[in-house]
Amino acid sequence: MSMTMQIEIVSAESTLFTGMAEYVIVPGEMGELGIYPRHTQLLSRLKAGSVRVKLPDTDVEELIYVSGGMLEVQPHVVIVLADTAIRGHDLDEAKALEAKRRAEEAMKNRASAFDYAQAQAELAQAIAQIATIQRLRKLH
């Protein structure tokens, strides 16, 4: 049996994952972070992207899209507090592609710097959702 740690992924709406895992990979603000059991304590902001949870003693990785949030790492527990979180298989590719198109259009037709920044954030989230969907396809 492999070494494991407790993983909790929660958003304001619900708990998306709670259980044991061999590792978790999260989209940290400065790049991806790989967390294994007995990792040093850590707090980090998250950006939009995929959280990948390796389930114990299988080849299965659970994919969960997060729009951002916070990561807390303790030696045997990892908590992801997501702004918004959606299971990978619940993502809608058509909606994500439409959101990407709308954000790109809004960036072209911006009325202010605030509109541009909001469109940029929406574009980053749509691209992260599409990347999660594509990664999920490769796994299956």
Domain at 80, CATH number: 2.60.15.10
Domain that holds residue 18: 5-88
Determine the Cα–Cα distance for residues 38 and 25; give it in Å rounded to an integer. 15
Diameter of the chain measured on Cα atoms: 57
pLDDT of residue 128: 80
pLDDT by residue (tens digit) across 62-112? 899 998 999 999 988 999 999 888 887 676 777 777 777 777 777 777 666
Residue found by looking up tokens 């909001």 in the block: 118
- Identify which has the larger pLDDT, 123 or 45: 45
Residues 69 and 97 in one domain: no
Residue 46 and residue 14 in one domain: yes
**What pLDDT shows up at residue 112?**
63
Using the Cα atoms of residue 103, residue 14, residue 68 and residue 62 in order, give the sign of their dihedral.
negative
Q: Which of 12, 42, 14 is nearest to 26 (CA)?
A: 42
Q: Which two tokens stand for residue 19?
A: 């259980």
Domain identity same for 61 and 75: yes
Same domain, 34 and 47: yes
Per-residue pLDDT reduced to its tens digit, 2-56: 799 999 999 988 899 999 999 999 999 999 999 999 999 999 999 998 999 999 9
Please check whether residue 65 is in contact with residue 129, taking contact to mean a CB–CB distance below 8 angstroms: yes
Q: Structure pTM?
A: 0.73
Residues 65 and 105 reside in one and the same domain? no
